[in-house]
Amino acid sequence: MKIIAAILCLVAVASLAQAEATSTVKPVDAKDAPLVVKPADPKAAPAKPVDPKATTTTAVDPKAAPGTKKEVKKEVPLPKIPGTVINRANGTFLSLYDKKHKPMAVDVTRATARWPNTRSAAVQWNRTVLNGSGTSLVGAKPVLPPFTFSVHFSLLQGDGDEAKVVEEYDVPFRG
């Protein structure tokens, strides 16, 4: 019993010593101190600390006059588009995302989709019409397994018999 009490006391003393060692104040090094911008006029705005990890950097333009600096902003990466990404001719994506990878409104009247029918020998193709609904094209026919096939999309512009195919895509689907 005395051995257990001695070990507990030893652990307590060691943890106190470690806490005291880590709580000592370190002198501030010049490179660790935050940068402060001092105004030229004492009546101007108060000094503000500058974040050294800011997204803008200053770079010297060789064509500019000596002593002038130019602000350069870093490019923010575009968000990832889920699923298969297919570029369209107008710079947007078939998954109805714009150039900045944000969901966009449907820019066609409707679309047709066609994929092989593996469940029936009499009907070679499954077909459905996809109607625009906000930022998506929605069809009424479910897709049955197996989910490995190539689907053909035709994007249509116009109504009724006057509808014209404006774009066509063959997309391999693996789901």
Reply yes or no on whether the pLDDT at 169 is more than 90. yes
Which pLDDT score, from 0 to 100, does residue 152 have? Answer: 95
Residue 137 has a CB neighbour count (10 Å cut-off) of 21
Band of the pLDDT at 113, cuts 50, 70, 90? very high
Where are the strands (E) in 60-134, listed by range? Answer: 70-73, 110-116, 125-133
pLDDT higher for 147 or 29? 147
pLDDT tens digits along 14-62: 565 565 555 444 444 444 444 444 444 555 555 455 555 555 555 555 5
Query: What share of the chain has pLDDT > 70, as a percent?
Result: 61
pLDDT tens digits along 88-101: 988 999 888 999 99
Q: What is the pTM of this model?
A: 0.55
Band of the pLDDT at 173, cuts 50, 70, 90? confident
- Average pLDDT value over all residues in the chain: 76
Rounded to whole angstroms, the Cα distance separating 7 from 138 reads: 70
Domain residue limits, the chain: 78-175
Which pLDDT score, from 0 to 100, does residue 1 have? Answer: 63
Give me the residues paired with residue 156 across strands: 110, 165
Give me the residues paired with residue 133 across strands: 136
pLDDT higher for 47 or 112? 112
Signed CA dihedral, 151, 130, 103, 164: sign only: positive
